[in-house]
Structure 1
Amino acid sequence: MEIVFIRHGQGEHTLNPPNSLKIMDANITDKGRVQAKALFETYPLNQQDLIIVSPTRRTIQTALYWSKTIECEIIVHPAVGPRMFPMLPASRAFPCDQLLSKEKIEVDFPQVSIYQVNSITWEQGINTLSEEEFTAIAEDFMEWCIELNKSRLFIVSHDGTITSYRQFLGESNLTRKDFLGETGSYIAKFDGRK
């Protein structure tokens, strides 16, 4: 199966760091909306496609603008929520990476589905999990992706999260220099074996 990881469009939280990293529940910017809509040129969607998104406003908005002309399924899943890379103490987590509650998602984005998972708390997500804890979550998540039986699957997430999954899938010596740009993509061929 082919898994296409896509970083969300430009968000308000990236406009004036480090101060803007304190913005909670950041929207995508006007530029981010243009970037999200342009994804359709690179990755045209059809009704059979599935987009899995992080429980943040900017990732959900990116997926919705990208899929605006096609009714495909969008599932919010905390296993692709924000994740620090490299790992730092939990006290260094940014407010912009706080997850939306399930209730907030249901109210603000009724057109998406929420995956009910018990192994990840919606308050913490995967942002500050140890490598061992993240690996267990990533293994479960990848198994779930395989069970979906899609030839290609899209995941809209965050730079640190995507880099963490790339490392999980076997890449090594990754640094922040390997982060994707806004709406950048990484394609992984995955056959269920790590």
Structure 2
Amino acid sequence: MEMIFIRHGQGEHTVNLPDSLHLTNPSLTFKGISQAGKLRTSLPLNAKDMLIVSPTLRTLQTASIWSAGIACQKFIHPLAGPRIFPARSNAATLPCDRLLDLKRLQSDFQNFIFAPDSSSCLWPEGINTLPEDGFDQLAEDFIGFCQSFKSRKVYIVTHDGTITSYRQKISNQKLTREDFLGETEWIQLVVE
């Protein structure tokens, strides 16, 4: 199975650092909207693909623009949510990385479904501040969820720290923040 991790387009929370990190539910910027649209040609989807998206506004906007008009399966999954990398004890979730509440997800993103068996204990905090050992078990669960669909390709629209955490887990290589992807950059990992 191919897992293709895509970082969301430019969000409002990255424009005026560090103050912008305190925005709640930041949207894509105009540049981010354009970046998401370019994914349609650089990484085209088809109906056989599976798309999993972090429950944040900027990732769902990226995925919605990219997948518009494509009848692929589209899931919202908290295990694709923001993650601090590297993990730090006593870390706190910034307002820009809080998950959207369930009611807003249901009303604003009706063409996405909630991943089955996504643990209700992960709402609203998600995986952002989980210690490494707690994340490792949930990462195994997430990979198993992706494999359960027997899809050749699984696309995950998520965040730089989340991508790097899964990359490190899957590749068994030590990574750093220097390994973060840029906006709408992607990396393909093969999972047996």
Global fold match (TM > 0.5): yes
Q: Matched residue of 2:85: which SS?
A: coil
Q: Deviations over 1:35-77 (max 9, x none)?
A: 0010111111112221100000000000000011322221000
Deviation at 1:28, TM superposition (A): 0.6
Residue equivalent to 2:44: 44
| 1:7-156 equivalence runs, <5 A | 7-116=7-116, 117-118=118-119, 120-156=121-157
Q: 1:20 to 1:105 in 2, by over 3 A?
A: same
How many residue pairs were aligned?
Answer: 191
Tell me if the contact between 1:102 and 1:114 (Cα under 8 Å) persists in the aligned partners.
no
Residues of 2 paired with 1:56 and 1:144: CA distance? Answer: 20
Residue ranges of structure 1 left out of the alignment (5+ in a row): none
Deviation at 1:128, TM superposition (A): 0.6
Tell me if the contact between 2:88 and 2:131 (Cα under 8 Å) persists in the aligned partners.
no
| 1:180-191 equivalence runs, <5 A | 180-191=181-192
Amino acid paired to 1:65: I
Deviation at 1:91, TM superposition (A): 4.2
Q: Matched residue of 2:58: which SS?
A: helix
Residue equivalent to 1:6: 6
Tell me if the contact between 1:54 and 1:76 (Cα under 8 Å) persists in the aligned partners.
yes
Deviation at 1:95, TM superposition (A): 1.1
Deviation at 1:111, TM superposition (A): 1.4
Q: Matched residue of 2:55: which SS?
A: coil
Tell me if the contact between 1:119 and 1:137 (Cα under 8 Å) persists in the aligned partners.
no
Residues of 1 paired with 2:136 and 2:6: CA distance? Answer: 20
Tell me if the contact between 1:53 and 1:60 (Cα under 8 Å) persists in the aligned partners.
yes
Tell me if the contact between 2:81 and 2:159 (Cα under 8 Å) persists in the aligned partners.
yes
Q: TM-score, normalised by structure 1?
A: 0.94
Name the % identity. Answer: 47
Deviation at 1:101, TM superposition (A): 1.4
Q: Matched residue of 2:122: which SS?
A: coil
Deviation larger for 13-22 or 112-121:
112-121
Deviation at 1:114, TM superposition (A): 1.2
Residues of 2 paired with 1:109 and 1:170: CA distance? Answer: 32
Residue equivalent to 1:174: 175
Residues of 2 paired with 1:11 and 1:120: CA distance? Answer: 27
Deviation at 1:120, TM superposition (A): 4.2
Tell me if the contact between 2:5 and 2:157 (Cα under 8 Å) persists in the aligned partners.
yes
